[in-house]
Amino acid sequence: MTPPSLRPHAAPPAPDEPLSARQCECLALAARGLTSAAIGERLGISGRTVDEHLMRACRTLGVRTRIQAVARLAARTGPMPESRSFLP
């Protein structure tokens, strides 16, 4: 029997498991460099809730960090378009 400390914490993600709309929104804003607090302010949720969405997205995408999640999502869907603005 495997000791509890060596057992995996969760089942590996399905390779094509879909992200929720909110997870995608949070990842898109994280890709633009926004903090969890700033993302939360834009979406009308707390920064902690943003962290939860990003953590679940990381689990779904099979990565550990939000940067890896953004890169993995870009690999799945193509790069996110940059917003071009000449406003200060």
**How confident is the model at residue 88, as a pLDDT?**
55
**CA within 13 Å, CB half, 71:** 7
**On the CB side of 30, how many CA atoms lie within 13 Å of its CA?**
25
* Digitized pLDDT (tens) for each residue of the chain, 88 residues in all: 555 545 454 444 455 678 999 999 999 999 999 999 999 999 999 999 999 999 999 999 999 999 999 998 888 777 666 655 555 5
23 alpha carbon, distance to own chain's centre:
6
The identity of residue 58, as a single letter, is: C
Calpha distance 26→43 (Å, rounded):
9
Instruction: Flag whether the pTM goes above 0.75.
Output: no
CATH fold label, 19-77: Arc Repressor Mutant, subunit A (1.10.10)
Given this model, what pLDDT does residue 83 score?
59
pLDDT of residue 37: 97
